[in-house]
Chain A
Amino acid sequence: MAEEILKTENLSKSFGATKANKNINITIHSGSVFGLAGENGSGKSTLASIICGIQKRDGGIIYKDGNEYNPANLIEANRLHVSMVVQELGVVGSLPPAINMFLGRTDEFTTGGIVNLNKMEEAANKQLKKWDLGSIPMDCMTEELSIEQRKILELARALSTDPDFLVLDEISQALSHDRREILYRFIKRFTKEGKTILMVTHDLDEMMEICDTIAVLRDGEMIETKPTSEFTINELKRKMIGREISGEYYRSDWKEEYQEEVILEVENLTVPDQLKDISFQLHKGEILGVCGLSDAGIHSLGRALFGMSERRTGKVCVKTTKALLNKPKDVIKAGGAYLSKDRDLDGLMLDASLGSNLAVPSVSDLSGRLGFLNPREVKNLAEEIKDSFEIKATGIEHIVKSLSGGNRQKVNLSRWLVKDLKFIILDCPTRGVDIGVKAYIYNILKKAKKEGIGILLISDELSETIGMSDRIMIMRDRRIAGILSRNTDFTEDKIIEVML
């Protein structure tokens, strides 16, 4: 057995009345990948950030390499060879990538008060190369990088402090399939050198695949810790939620099944540098999955269909009415809706009440003569949505910012589904959502399918598209590379083959 690298004894932390961590005892061995599983709000991120000195613990002791370990902040933790990639993006957009990588340590590259950017870029590239993380453009501002590239940049930054204990908090959810492969290769190499990784992830398949040991947290308490080989994925889910998940998760049938009637017809849709010549049809009651590697253009497709892209050419129309959908307004009018990948930035009003958020898409439908909008009707609608979609909040006055990620996504989705929709474009609808809500969302989608709504499901998770779609449209280099049918072609290998 390898030696212990990190150990906690009765670690606890409260935020006001909420106990985020209650008497946590974990022991992590060097050279292993230790996974933390748990639903949103179970205390995973808190535990991770305490270990990295980002938050102060209230009680308990941490030992690292046998010595008591008590970092005052992340810098001190770095000095003790502990580093972290945080869940939220932690880079400064208006600085070049190289500076971001060495933020706080620019002194090493400074002579006479002037930072030598060339030297820094060189060091940054060396860092990326050392761990085989792929390349990142250095001659731009960080905000011009994609979210994935920024994540990799953060990983490189964390590595540049030479850690032997690295915390990765939800890193893979920002990454697409090919960059995840890079990440997994990195993890293997890192641990082979006898170094250790603490991994927080929502993706249970991933967790089962790469972690040696898994610890399950629920409501701030450590429920169970044991080697991955002794867990089954269902047991893991059960432990996380504390009850059986009722019903199945994905679809149980393996048939491509939808109505003949075409709802949405797309012909030669092209957006310069984003999409090339996309043509397809979405049928009534169909779930059409869309997947592809990071730059394949799957997210651009959603935006373009909704009419948010500039310089779009080609045709998007409703088949039956021949109505052209050029602007977001047209899509809404035709009974469509679009949920972008970033629900907080593009979807929700975080500082506003639940009621206001739920009502926004429907206010124009509710208004009568002279545009009259009855506040009572608005309120009733919000109450109705909240109840029928089981959104967990104290009431419709609840501020959305304080809801969990899963509930926020429920808000984002439900307010559109109460409308009389014909089709909906969903971009990563279960991103950053715990499995309880995930299962709930899949059930909603199944129901919507049954009601004849056409669903375009854009997703970074292959298992999700396989589990839910009738057909999968695979994109490569901004074009459609192939369309597979649920009847025969749905295996991960086959999809990846087309992707590459």
Chain B
Amino acid sequence: MRKKKININTIMPFLILGGMLIIFGIATHGQVFVKQNLLNLFNQSAATIIAGLGMIFVASMGGTDITHGSLLAVAAAFSAMAGQAFGAGGMFPTAILVGALSGLFLGVLNAKFKVPSFMASLSMLIALRAFVNWLLSARVIMVPQSIKFIDGFSFKLPALIVLIIIIGYIFKYTPFGTYLRAIGENENAIKYAGINVDKIKIVAFMISGIMAAIAGIFTIVRMGGSNNTLGNGFEMKVMMAMFIGGIPVQGGMGTKLYKLIVGAPTIILLENGMVLCGAGGGVTQGVRGVVLLAAVYLTMVIYSKFNGTGGSKSGAISKLLKECT
């Protein structure tokens, strides 16, 4: 039996989550571990993880997709309407269609028209929010009582597991997943390997959109209904979950699914623990910012320490230039 080498890079997300559990466990006198609170944590994490399962496809290519907040609201609104008309069976196809269309549009913008993904998705975020405002204006759309079961633990947990398995399979065990991460490393190299990079990008954005839309279903069912502010800032939460879990900001081979799955409860716990400690909203926000920055910085340092060799090409040039000027 070969001994498996433990890499600090691998266990870092677990260390952060564990550390936070201990700190808040002590600070709240065990309050975080109360059953009701744990269920709370799960419910909030679930939507974040589901959306992250899609966002990670774009992130692994080194791209950014921040449409999630608005897309979630649009998908939620449409699927709630479908739910009213056709019951639970109508919700998922509707959401998937909405998500796929949004992703397709974004993917084509990015891959074919070379609009940087951040700007493309930012525009999309704004436009979709405007669309929701128009669609719902001051109305609140309710989901029928008959589909409340979706919010139940006994439906949500298996659904989450199934989604993780499907996405995990696509992401890790198919050529498609390999190419995604390879694009994050060096897009040119993949082009020169004869792979249709544009197609891969478009599909990645579509998966990202679909998962955001599915997260929308779980969110609106949990809320019982939706108005036009649903999902505000949600994209940031998903991004924080990824990066606090140690997914490299530039994408590439270090993009791993488990980092998201650990990162999501971490960021939710941070918020939850702060509230239980009696901290105000402002303090919570501030701490979140600091922790995120620290996590991203740590990821970078650890990454370069274990992978880097120093003295890179660009390094040599910039050094030379510094001395010249």
Interface residues of A (CB under 8 A from B): 15, 53-54, 73-75, 86, 88-90, 92, 103-104, 306, 308, 327-329, 331-333, 337-340, 344-353, 356, 359-361, 363-364, 366-367, 370-375, 399, 401-402
Contact = CB atoms under 8 A, between A and B. Distances in A.
Nearest to A74: B323
Interface of B: 169-170, 172-179, 181-182, 185-186, 188-196, 252-253, 307-309, 311-313, 316-317, 319-321, 323-325
B194 A332 contact: yes
Given A89-B317, A329-B194, A360-B189, A352 B178 contact: no
A339 B192 CA distance: 8
Nearest to A364: B175
Contact of A74 (B170, B309, B324): B324
B194 A54 contact: no
B309 A399 contact: yes
Contact of A346 (B179, B192, B309, B323): B192
A407 B175 CA distance: 25
20 contacts: A15-B311, A54-B323, A73-B323, A74-B320, A103-B321, A327-B194, A332-B193, A344-B313, A345-B188, A346-B192, A350-B185, A352-B253, A353-B253, A356-B182, A359-B178, A363-B175, A367-B175, A373-B173, A401-B308, A401-B309
A349 to B, nearest CB: 4
B189 A348 contact: yes
B307 to A, nearest CB: 5
Nearest to A106: B325
Given A346-B188, A360-B182, A363-B175, 8 more contacts: A74-B323, A90-B321, A328-B191, A332-B193, A353-B253, A361-B193, A370-B174, A402-B309
A367 B192 CA distance: 20
A382 to B, nearest CB: 12
B312 A401 contact: yes
Contact of B320 (A86, A306, A373): A86
B188 to A, nearest CB: 5
A351 B307 contact: yes
B307 A399 contact: yes
A86 B324 CA distance: 13
B315 to A, nearest CB: 10
A90 B174 contact: no
Contacts of A373: 173-175, 177-178
Contacts of A364: 175
A402 B308 CA distance: 8
Contacts of A337: 194
Given A345-B188, A372-B173, A329 B321 contact: no
A45 to B, nearest CB: 10
A234 to B, nearest CB: 33
B206 to A, nearest CB: 16
Contacts of B195: 328-329, 332
Contact of A103 (B253, B309, B312, B325): B325
Contact of A75 (B175, B178, B323): B323
A402 B304 CA distance: 12
B324 A103 contact: yes
Nearest to B307: A399
B8 to A, nearest CB: 15
